[in-house]
Amino acid sequence: MCFEIRKAVPRDLHAALQLDKEAFGVDAWSILDYAGVFSFRGIKKFTALVGGKFAGFAAAEYDAGRKAVCLMTLAVRPEFRKKGIGTALLKRCEEAFTQTKYFLTVDCENRSAICLYEHNGYRQTGVIHAYYLNGHDAFEMEKDTDKCRI
């Protein structure tokens, strides 16, 4: 399947919000959260398109406190999953920064996402108990690509 990843634009906001609701339920972000994501230039955000149709969304920002890039959100519409789009969105987020360290939190019961992250070099570094509103713990995962290594 052919897909395209491009920088997200304001008209993607509602599709991204809808996908977030479908994917994350009670833990979905609000429209205000998404307005912030789309307003703040420091947040790099990308949209996946299949045949011009919205297929997925991801966003990341640099966390100065942790000196690492935080993958804030990643989701692909159900009908377009398992075709490499999630991986492509993740890579595009990573490539948008010069930093070498990345981190994220993921629901400990979200096997498909954990597999995707592990296959892309992320390792579990911690557990945050009852992190999500659904009551689940979060796994913290990190990756250091050390882009300067020759």
Ligand X SMILES: CC(C)(COP(=O)(O)OP(=O)(O)OC[C@H]1O[C@@H](n2cnc3c(N)ncnc32)[C@H](O)[C@@H]1OP(=O)(O)O)[C@@H](O)C(=O)NCCC(=O)NCCS
Nearest to 55 by CA among 129, 94, 3: 3
Q: How far is the CB of 48 from ligand X (least distance, A)?
A: 8
Identify which range of 8-16, 37-45, 72-80, 127-135 contacts ligand X by CB under 6 A. Answer: 72-80
Nearer to ligand X among residue 38 and residue 117 (C-beta): 117
CA–CA dist 96, 58 (Å, integer): 12
Dihedral, CA atoms, 147, 72, 51, 17, nearest 10 degrees? -170
Measured from each CB, the residue nearest to ligand X is 86
* Interactions with ligand X, residue window 73-132 (CB under 6 A): 74-76, 81-87, 106, 110, 112-113, 115-116, 119
CA–CA dist 11, 102 (Å, integer): 28
Residue in this structure with the two tokens 């000196």, named with its chain if needed: 67
The reply on whether position 5 binds ligand X by CB under 6 A is no
Positions that interact with ligand X (CB under 6 A): 23, 74-76, 81-87, 106, 110, 112-113, 115-116, 119
